[in-house]
Amino acid sequence: MRTLVEHIYRNESMLTKKQKELLEYIQSYQTKSGVTPSYEEMKAALNLKSKSGIHRLVIALEERGFVRRLAHKARALEVIKDAISTLKVSEKTNKNIIVGDFTGSNKDENNKLSTLPLLGKIAAGTPIEAIQHNDSSVDVPKEMMPIGESYALTVEGESMINEGIYDGDTVLIKKTNLVENGDIAVALIDDSEATLKRIRKKGQSIALESANPIYETRILSSHRVKIQGKLIGLLRKY
């Protein structure tokens, strides 16, 4: 089966459909008028209810390297056209995912692969027992790998499907105990249950947010939660 490597976070060649829609709108508007559309115009074009949604989309595009702000110029965004040409939409699913094209010869692919240990299953749903180590491994493009130790886990459950993370996917995790609010991470609860959730910290509490409305957000005391790593990528087989 064909494997698509889906880059999902900062510095990765991936956009949601809404982000791609905004990127294409900005480029088209600039081509026709020579200036960048206002946030109000962007909001209307994407049929969003508030400009804050546009602000988040622009930040995401900037973080992923698809646009950059021009200093000392109001409303000025530069679209990096080369980035647009590297994108394609996954036609196999209906998810809001844009994936990088990693096609090429087997020889070139082998020279660009890293091998990560596949440590077991991680729950995207109700937490399961802590990660079980085993002897399996998975090949991953080297360009996806950050500096430092990383590992892979198989997703079990559907609590993160609105983030494009499905049951049976393989998530790539950078080993770290430091995450920012909004990062998706592996959380170990009470040293016994491991789960994949979006992390929100407030005071002495940590919220473990799902990306599926049928699953509730869990709020726990910070001493009960240990961060085991941060999500950096996703592998899927069709």
**150-193, pLDDT tens digit by residue?**
888 989 889 999 888 888 888 989 888 889 999 999 999 998 88
Q: Percentage of the chain with pLDDT > 90? A: 21
Report whether pLDDT(88) > 50. no
Whether residue 204 is predicted with pLDDT greater than 70 in this model: the reply is yes
Task: Determine which of 9-13, 53-57, 146-150 has the lowest per-residue pLDDT on average.
Answer: 9-13
Domain edges within the chain: 3-100, 113-237
User: What CATH number is given for 3-100 in this structure?
Assistant: 1.10.10.10
Average pLDDT over residues 20-34: 85
Does the annotation count 197 as an active-site position?
yes
Class of domain 113-237: mainly beta
- pTM for the complete prediction? 0.54
Rounded Cα gap, residues 178 and 142, in angstroms = 23
How far, in Å, are 37, 40, 191 from residue 226 at the CA level?
43, 41, 8
Beta strands 218-221; 205-209: pairing state: antiparallel
Structure tokens belonging to residue 219: 């709020």
Active-site residue identified among 150, 197, 210, 230 = 197
Tell me if 114 sits within 8 A of 142, measured CB to CB: yes
Give me the catalytic one of 13, 150, 159, 210.
Answer: 159
Least confident of 2-6, 126-130, 160-164, 210-214: 2-6
Instruction: Clarify whether 13 is annotated catalytic.
Output: no
Among 59-68, 71-80, 140-149, 188-197, the minimum mean pLDDT is found in 71-80
